[in-house]
Structure 1
């Protein structure tokens, strides 16, 4: 099956990340990163791959208050940099095609990071220009390296875990096979590091607490009633932990447990109301804020009403401000945002106006985003096709649905898309363009004739040999 980035785009305001990063972006960026911006001038964060295998590459999603920027490092492009004046959350994804882990790091302006890969293909980071704690920064890679696939639930490191019988079994999305086994071995490893003075007390204390809450979240998702009865109760609700993602994730899963028979269902309105009912104080504010991100897959009217509900009761003024800016702003509530922006700044009222610029050519439209790995994988094939067919009468245009212009511009340069062919759809979730073209996942490719009539709403990908047959028929007509 071809990989896609799924989302209900006709009901979603794209927040520069796919839905898996949506919650993480809102909580981590808005609650911590944006509040600690440096007053210093912008400086580069340098990322460098120390790995010569031509068939391997790493994907680093760099998240800041401006959005998300994907950096791809490989043998041909072993070094890249990011200009910023704030802390960055860097998420390194698996080197394997199934995206089997996501490991997060905090990086800072002027950091120069060398990334190596260990024998089990986990990243190992080294800072060249600053003092750092090697074991602490590489803890999750070391944990998985020592325990052959231990899953830390908060970070979703692997979609493989080692069962008690020693057999590896693939875990479906969201399914947890043995959280207790994982938790006990994770703690055993952490204890051994601390007892040998290999990590600091603060790191030990924070990490063991995070592992425990991740374990609680794991048994909630497993729906194992015996484990839930044994380990989970209201005593784990602690307002002092609201700045930790693992704690908010636990609260949210705890609420879902009382609403759904299984965790594959997604009724975010019910989850919001259950969180509102179950919790109090700053824990309530934080988990409801988190829940609003999930609600953004509903209509803007639904998010709007819940945002207003949130503002009436929330005591945290910083969260109130963020909710107002992101869910109650004029831009968010526009009902018909079809504007397309060119790199030069020129705007088009709709897609037809853009197509009218090339009346003598058929159009192959590529809908993509900086956070969409399958989209980026197709771009080299697309550029080869463009060189062959552009002169024959087929125009290639690339439309980004990134939330932030900076993310679009950065990735456009990274993957070398021509400025004259690249466009940005700022409010993709509210746009009639995506509704009319029935776009519910990306990458998506649309073929139009010279008049702008859609001939194919879901054309073959550039890497699919069938696209050449489609183009040949198109050019004969």
Structure 2
């Protein structure tokens, strides 16, 4: 059968249009390509903001010298790149961008081949310069960066950071109330100027404009939050709790967490922060329970999800967390959020957390076992147990000594066993990778109920226990790995 020429032309045109559309779809689905050259021994972290629409896809780690990683994102986003000996670098990216990363011993630098000029929308005219100057001048009446004092330095798993303390003039918030009101008015005026400028822009990069609006909203919130923390002003609190920030669209804001979590602390939680414990305690049980009085829809669901995560962070009891986790699943039945919670709360919601008679262990290889089984399999060896956790600084500081001790006895009948009391599996796995704990490394699942841990009175870590052959306990409070005494003790039992 022959087709008329005009029909063939139409069919070909349709085919070409479909191919073009498909090509565009494929292009849109491509992530950001990161080409990495890492001259350090440190793993690199590539992350963006975590929020509702990227619960589990907000960070990737690279452990290679030369690596290429595709990072799936939602439109435009700022990406933060770092390793533990470098200050983080930041780059604005969008899908289909290619970013080159060069990491040295003390720095990390990212260059996006496709540049995005986020400041092109705001022309620094005289009126704008005047507003900025007035804001800076008024701000200095109340606080300023105190560069005369030493910078506060800190380290995390994948980054180092420093900041200077603030010099705060608290009486000025009362004594200079008119100036404070002027400052708040100018900040609001500056915020509205930026939002209206973006809204009236004829630029066709609508996704960039939408992202920048979210970023400007979050920046404004951060400035007001600082002023509220310094002044405890009711008018500032009312602004922070207003529809400007707490609205239905917040769920789509990449900076949602930075707005929603402080809102829960400030507005929803009744109990004030408790500093009488070893670390700050905030009662996120109340955030979970009372959030329905303030929020609704997906924002309420996400607020309760964050509350569960925060309950874990603040060492809430396993009973309280599990009760609310069950309630959360019954109410929302959200597979995406539940999958994330199961990772974070796995050390609590696992049914075996209730076991009493034995120590239930989850291996770094994903398999479960018990301490009794591990000891039985190593009955012809001396077993040195290192109790630790990702959040325990003394444990982490001495870990290189522990690994060095393990290496010293690597050809002898000694098993070095690492047992973590972390409840957050992801943090345990991350710390394990950094410390190089690839074998005989377990997370304890039933630490709250284990009779064994009560028998050895485990209350402080690091803690070390030594077993002889045939699973005979030698010392339930053994010397640490940096001592010469432990070497003598192990040697005396492997003969």
Q: TM-score, normalised by structure 1?
A: 0.57
What is the aligned partner in structure 2 of residue 291 from structure 1? 307
SS at match of 2:485: helix
Give the drift of 1:447.
2.6
What is the aligned partner in structure 2 of residue 255 from structure 1? 267
The superposition leaves residues 192-214 of structure 1 with CA deviations (integer Å, 9 ceiling, x where unpaired) of xx99x9x9544432221111223
What is the aligned partner in structure 1 of residue 6 from structure 2? none
Give the drift of 1:271.
3.2
Contact 1:268 1:291 in 2 (8 A): yes
What is the aligned partner in structure 2 of residue 114 from structure 1? 101
> Structure 1 residues 123, 301: closer, same or farther in 2, change over 3 A?
same
* 2:109 aligned residue (124, 144, 166): 124
Give the drift of 1:440.
6.8
User: Mean Cα displacement is larger for which, 253-262 or 77-86?
Assistant: 77-86
Contact 2:34 2:98 in 1 (8 A): yes
Q: Please list every run of 5 or more consecutive structure 2 residues that lacks an aligned counterpart in the other structure.
A: 1-26, 120-142, 155-163, 169-179
* 2:251 aligned residue (242, 245, 260): 242
> Structure 1 residues 219, 428: closer, same or farther in 2, change over 3 A?
farther
Contact 2:45 2:62 in 1 (8 A): yes
> Structure 1 residues 376, 170: closer, same or farther in 2, change over 3 A?
same
Contact 2:273 2:282 in 1 (8 A): no
Q: TM-score, normalised by structure 2?
A: 0.55
What is the aligned partner in structure 2 of residue 387 from structure 1? 407
> Structure 1 residues 203, 282: closer, same or farther in 2, change over 3 A?
closer
- Report the aligned-residue RMSD: 5.8
CA distance in structure 1 between the partners assigned to 2:36 and 2:391 by the alignment: 18
* 1:470 aligned residue (463, 480, 486): 486
* 1:275 aligned residue (291, 301, 313): 291
Pair 1:47 & 2:63 matched: no
CA distance in structure 1 between the partners assigned to 2:44 and 2:393 by the alignment: 8
> Structure 1 residues 320, 449: closer, same or farther in 2, change over 3 A?
closer
CA distance in structure 1 between the partners assigned to 2:336 and 2:425 by the alignment: 20
Larger Rg: 2
CA distance in structure 2 between the partners assigned to 1:294 and 1:360 by the alignment: 44
What is the aligned partner in structure 2 of residue 139 from structure 1? none
Structure with larger RCO (C-alpha < 8 A, sep 6+)? 1
Pair 1:335 & 2:358 matched: no
The superposition leaves residues 354-379 of structure 1 with CA deviations (integer Å, 9 ceiling, x where unpaired) of 12333343322245678988867655
Q: Please list every run of 5 or more consecutive structure 1 residues that lacks an aligned counterpart in the other structure.
A: 1-37, 137-161
* 1:449 aligned residue (464, 467, 470): 467
Contact 2:361 2:442 in 1 (8 A): yes
Number of equivalences: 383
Pair 1:204 & 2:187 matched: no
Contact 1:447 1:456 in 2 (8 A): yes
Give the drift of 1:57.
5.0
